[in-house]
Every structure is written in structure tokens, then in C-alpha cells.
Amino acid sequence: MAGNEVLTERDGAVLIITLNRPEARNAANRALAEGVAAAIDELEADSDLRVGILTGAGGTFCSGMDLKAFVSGETPTVKGRGFAGLTEYRSSKPLIAAVEGYALAGGFELAITCDLVVAAENSKFGIPEVKRGLAAAAGGLVKLPKQIPSRIAMELALTGEFISAARAYELGLINRVSEAGEALAGAKDLAASIAANGPLAVAASLQVVAGAQDWSTEEMFAKQQELVTPVFTSEDAIEGATAFAEKRAPNWKGK
């Protein structure tokens, strides 16, 4: 269980991870970073958990780095995990960001580290680091050009301006837009759709889609084959086909 800065709650096969510093708009300090890393460890270690949802308390996702802590010499990073204990880590299970309010600077970088994003219609996204004489070095500058057109990524990086949920959806940066206050409910719906599927198939598909952008045309099928071959020879593959033929829900074993 994480500390007070990060709360975890199990909802069936889903682990809900809540950034819990509402008085600071969930700005990341060292304790929050360590709490997120511990929560991700909990998600990874439990085979009954299939999906993680990352959200924020108090109507804000995350406003970025705690600048007061930064000025006093505190760094909100975890070795091997990056900013807020996550931005340099690849979870083996799908992560969904449920965004209300602001996802700015490091908070934006946390959101785009997740595999899927559900955002409230009144939420705002941006990497305003340049306005503070800083750079979006927790993934904003390197991940964003892989997720949206490079010229738009360049504009966001150089101006520091915010974009709306509607614009983020238009750009393909987020998956779904919910009513204000309903982002977590929307993320739970999405998580349920994923958790109903074969866990081995989901894990392999996640790895392939995540890695594909960095694979050359010559190597992509070989790399994919390496990851998906165990899926096709698994007990779950037989169960999936059998359940379909018998018109019933599959009983996944994860093997």
C-alpha cells in the first residue's frame, strides 16, 4: 500500500492509483514519486490485477513538479522510474490516465506515459516549462512527437500554451472525452473492456504496439513474432476459441 500522497484501491481486476495532494494540485514531490512507483509495483506483482488507472484527487490530475520542493533541493524522481515514479518506466499492464482539471508540465508527461487517456471535457493539457525557464524533460519533448504531429508537438514545447480536451482528442492524444467529473467512470469502462480479454494477449499486444514505432520495416514482423508466439500456443488461446464456439464467456488462466 502506498503512503498518503498516493492511494490505491482495487476494483475487481483494476487498480486505481490516486495522486493525493489536492492542496498542491497533486504536484509531484519525492513522496508522491515513491508512492506511484510502489503502486505500479503492486499492479505488476498481482496476477489478478489486469489494468491500472492513474487519476488525481480534488478535481485535478497533476499540475507538474512541486516547485517549492524543487527550489529546496528535492527531486520528485525515482531511479529507473523517472519523474513521479513513472515517466521512464514501461508497465507490463495497460495504464489508463483519468484526467480532470489540469494535466500540466510533469502532469501532462505522466498522462502521456499512460497507454490510454480519458479526459473530462473541461480539462487542460500543456507543457509550460519554457514559461518557467525549464524544459519538459520528463517525456514531453521526446514522447509527444511520437504521439501527435511533430509540428504541433513543437508548438506546444516552444510556446508552453495549453490545449483543451477537445483539441487533444482532435489530435488523437486522448482516447475519450467525458463529462466533467466523469473521467474516472469513463476510465473504469475502458478498463473493464480490457480486463475482459485474455491477459496474455493483452500483454503481448501492449508490448507490440508500444514497441512498433521504434522498429524498422525489416525487423518489425520478427520482433512481433517473438512476443506473440507464446500467446498462440497458450491454454488461453484454446479457451478463447472454445468459448467462442460454445457461445460463453471465456475463463482465462493467464497461461
Residue 109 falls in the annotated catalytic set:
yes
Q: Which of 129, 155, 170, 182 is catalytic?
A: 129
Bridge partners for 177 per DSSP: 119
Give me the phi and psi of 132, to 5 degrees please: -110, 10
Rounded to 5 degrees, φ, ψ at 229 are -55, -45
What separation in angstroms does the CA of 42 have from each of 3, 9, 49, 109, 230? 13, 11, 9, 22, 25
Q: Give me the catalytic one of 9, 34, 109, 155.
A: 109
The C-alpha atoms of residue 5 and residue 3 are separated, in whole angstroms, by 6
Longest C-alpha distance within the chain, in Å?
A: 63
Non-local CB neighbours of 35 within 8 Å, separated by 6+ positions:
2, 3, 5, 6, 85
Q: Is 129 a catalytic site residue?
A: yes
For residue 152, what are the contacts with CB-CB under 8 A and spacing of at least 6? 171
Catalytic residues: 109, 129
